């Protein structure tokens, strides 16, 4: 296997704005990349270009030193040694589970005994050994998704592409399938690219997250870095449940801010040597403390293990916060901001 390289990739449909523009990234061998972004940001178009279903208008796609596609060249999907899992599962209803999983091997004319062995191994990897003779209609949504994964695994692909595969499942099944995807990645060792608009899925599954907006790549980093140190307002607002405050900060201040520096900025004075800045504050870093700044609770919702609050500060700006103790709308509270991140 080799790294998957997207070099200045662009895709245009007609005369409008490009669906994907100037996108460059490298997915190292064996990594799990989540393409994260809102609907219409171009992430599925990127996946389809990697798969070979769309040709780039500009730029190139390489697997190691092997050119897969550019504006003049297009290697067909069947010659890329990739496998794709769709949101709709795409299973043949008239075939058994084993026949669905083994179909790619049949197309490749793999010997029957070898094919049977590979199908058994693939079904074992997704814990569906006992379901080999059933048809898709007799399976749950999660089980059908596992069949689609086994069908990927059976061909030993270099790259597995997943297009919002959990979108049709309920919350319980999504959590169960996230564990299945992690196991699948660990067992197969394949490079995986996973398209989603759900940040919790991206954070839970991926070794790397690439955030897209309006056809552009905004930031690519491990999930912990994307969450703790996002670049720019779009990522700060998209990832996590943080609040973005507008503050006047010293031009030389660190991007990582503590409570003393935040308190000075929140007192409303604009001192010499400061400049307007946007600061991301996560709800877990907002503590209810009478020694802090005064705010008023504008909403309070019980989430089962804690209360989710919105607190309005004296300057009209709003914070998200959590509390294990009951807090009512309209209550006056003190707040301390343990940490903030300058965007």
Q: How do residues 98-112 score in pLDDT, each as one tens digit?
A: 999 999 899 889 999
Rounded CA separation 145/342 (Å): 41
Residues with Cβ within 8 Å of 76's Cβ and at least 6 positions away in sequence, in order, are: 52
DSSP state of 81: T
Task: Assess whether 10 and 157 both reside in one domain.
Answer: yes
Number of domains in the chain: 2
Between the two ends of the chain, the Cα-to-Cα distance in Å is 37
Q: Tell me what pLDDT residue 13 has.
A: 92
Residue 319 near residue 293, CB atoms below 8 Å: no
Task: Assess whether 121 and 203 both reside in one domain.
Answer: yes
Task: Assess whether 143 and 207 both reside in one domain.
Answer: yes
Task: Assess whether 46 and 189 both reside in one domain.
Answer: yes
Task: Assess whether 331 and 189 both reside in one domain.
Answer: no
Rounded CA separation 268/270 (Å): 7
Q: For residue 49, count CB atoms less than 10 angstroms from its CB and return exposed for 0-12, middle for 13-18, buried for 19 or more.
A: buried
- Segment 68-78 shows an average pLDDT of 94
Task: Assess whether 80 and 224 both reside in one domain.
Answer: yes
Residue 61 falls within a domain, yes or no? yes
Q: Tell me what pLDDT residue 84 has.
A: 86
Nearest to 175 by CA among 140, 128, 142: 142
Q: The domain that contains 300 carries what CATH number?
A: 2.40.50.140
Task: Assess whether 246 and 206 both reside in one domain.
Answer: no
- Other beta carbons within 10 Å of 200: 12
Q: How many residues does the chain have?
A: 343
Domain encompassing residue 246: 241-342
Residue 11 near residue 19, CB atoms below 8 Å: yes
Residue 133 falls within a domain, yes or no? yes
Percent of the chain with pLDDT over 90: 64
Task: Assess whether 149 and 246 both reside in one domain.
Answer: no
Rounded CA separation 202/27 (Å): 15
Tokens describing residue 100: 């669905």
Q: Tell me what pLDDT residue 28 has.
A: 95
Task: Assess whether 225 and 252 both reside in one domain.
Answer: no
Residue 234 falls within a domain, yes or no? no
User: Of 151-165, 196-210, 258-272, 290-304, which gets the smallest average pLDDT?
Assistant: 258-272
Q: Tell me what pLDDT residue 240 has.
A: 82
Residue 236 falls within a domain, yes or no? no
- Condensed to tens digits (0 to 9), the pLDDT of residues 251-308 reads 887 899 999 999 999 886 666 778 899 999 999 999 999 999 999 999 999 998 899 9
Task: Assess whether 222 and 249 both reside in one domain.
Answer: no
* Residue 64 φ/ψ, nearest 5 degrees: 65, -125
Tokens describing residue 153: 């695994």
Q: The domain that contains 66 carries what CATH number?
A: 3.40.50.300
Residue 276 near residue 233, CB atoms below 8 Å: no
Task: Assess whether 112 and 210 both reside in one domain.
Answer: yes
The strand pairing partners of 161, in sequence order, are 84, 193
**Last-in-domain residue among 187, 209, 229:** 229
Task: Assess whether 207 and 248 both reside in one domain.
Answer: no
């Amino acid at each position: 296997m080799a790294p998957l390289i997207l070099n200045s990739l662009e895709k245009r449909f007609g005369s409008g704005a490009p669906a994907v523009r100037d996108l460059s990234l490298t997915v190292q061998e064996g990594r799990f990349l989540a393409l994260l972004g809102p609907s219409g940001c171009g992430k599925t178009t990127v996946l389809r270009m990697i798969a070979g279903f769309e040709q780039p208008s500009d730029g190139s796609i390489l697997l190691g030193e092997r050119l897969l596609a550019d504006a003049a060249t297009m290697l067909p999907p069947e010659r890329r040694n990739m496998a794709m899992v769709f949101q709709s599962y795409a299973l043949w209803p008239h075939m058994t589970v084993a026949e669905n999983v083994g179909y790619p091997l049949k197309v490749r004319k793999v010997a029957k005994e070898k094919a049977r062995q590979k199908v058994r191994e693939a079904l074992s990897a997704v814990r569906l050994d006992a379901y080999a003779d059933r048809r898709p209609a007799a399976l749950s949504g999660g089980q059908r998704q596992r069949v689609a994964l086994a069908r990927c695994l059976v061909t030993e692909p270099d790259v597995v592409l997943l297009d919002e595969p959990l979108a049709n499942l309920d919350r319980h099944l999504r959590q169960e399938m996230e564990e299945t995807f992690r196991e699948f990645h660990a067992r197969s060792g394949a490079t995986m690219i996973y398209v989603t608009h759900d940040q919790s899925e991206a954070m839970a599954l991926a070794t790397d997250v690439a955030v897209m907006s309006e056809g552009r790549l905004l930031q690519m980093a491990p999930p912990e870095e994307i969450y703790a140190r996002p670049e720019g307002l779009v990522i700060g607002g998209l990832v996590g449940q943080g609040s973005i405050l507008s503050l006047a900060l010293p031009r030389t201040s660190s991007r990582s801010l503590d409570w003393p520096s935040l308190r000075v900025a929140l007192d409303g004075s604009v001192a010499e040597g400061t400049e307007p800045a946007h600061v991301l504050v996560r709800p877990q870093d907002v503590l209810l403390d009478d020694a802090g700044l005064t705010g008023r609770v504008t909403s309070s919702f019980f989430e089962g293990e804690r209360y989710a609050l919105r607190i309005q500060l004296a300057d009209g700006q709003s914070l998200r916060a959590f509390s294990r103790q009951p807090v009512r709308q309209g209550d006056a509270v003190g707040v301390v901001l343990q940490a903030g991140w300058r965007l």
